[in-house]
Structure 1
Amino acid sequence: MPARFAPLLFSALLSAIMVCIVSAFVLLTSQGPHADFTTQWIKSCLTTWPIAFPTVAVVAPWVRKIVGRMTT
C-alpha cells in the first residue's frame, strides 16, 4: 500500500480496534455475558464503525497538532 494512504489506514485500524473493544465492554457491563452476546457484539461493531472511522480520520490530525503544541 502506498505511504500516502497511511493516515487513512491508521484511521481504519484504530477505529476498528476501538469499536471492537468499547462495544464489547459496553455490552458486557450493560447486559452481562449471555447466549446472544457475540451476535449483538458483531452487530454493534458493524453499526458503529462507519461513524468511528470518519471521526478518527477527521479528528486525528487535529489531535496530533494539539499534542505537538503541548509538547516541545
Structure 2
Amino acid sequence: MSDTQKLRWVFSFLMSLLMSAVMSGWVTWIVAGLNAQFLQHWSRAFIMAWPAAFTIVMLCAPSVQRLSQHLVQQRGGDCQSS
C-alpha cells in the first residue's frame, strides 16, 4: 500500500471518528438532554453513525478536496499542500 493510500485510510478513520463522536454527542444532547442515560444513548448513536461516516469520508473526501481546491484557486488563492 502506498503512503498516499495509507494517508487516505488514516485520515478517513480519524475524521469519521471525530465527526461521529461530536455529531452523535451533539444530537443526543439536543434530543435527550444531559441525563443519567446520556452516555448509553450517545454510545449507541456513535456506534450506528461511525460506519456510515467512515464510508462517506472514504467516498466523498477526494471530491470535496478537489472542489475546495477549485473554489480557492478560482478566487485567486494559492492552494498548495503543506
TM over 0.5: yes
Query: Which runs of structure 1 show a deviation greater than 6 angstroms over 4 or more consecutive aligned residues?
Result: none
Query: Rg larger in 1 or in 2?
Result: 2
Does residue 30 (structure 1) correspond to residue 31 (structure 2)? The answer is yes
Give the alignment's Cα RMSD to 1 decimal: 1.1
Unaligned runs of 5+ in 2: 74-82
With normalisation by structure 1, the TM-score equals: 0.91
With normalisation by structure 2, the TM-score equals: 0.80
Unaligned runs of 5+ in 1: none
Q: What is the aligned length?
A: 71
**Aligned ranges 1:39-58 → 2 under 5 Å:** 39-58=40-59
Counterpart of 1:55 in 2: which secondary structure?
Answer: helix
Give aligned-pair identity as a percent: 27
Higher relative contact order (CA 8 A, sep 6+): 1
Relative to its length, the structure with more helix (as a share) is: 1
Question: For residues 71 and 21 of structure 1, what CA distance do their matches in structure 2 show?
Answer: 27
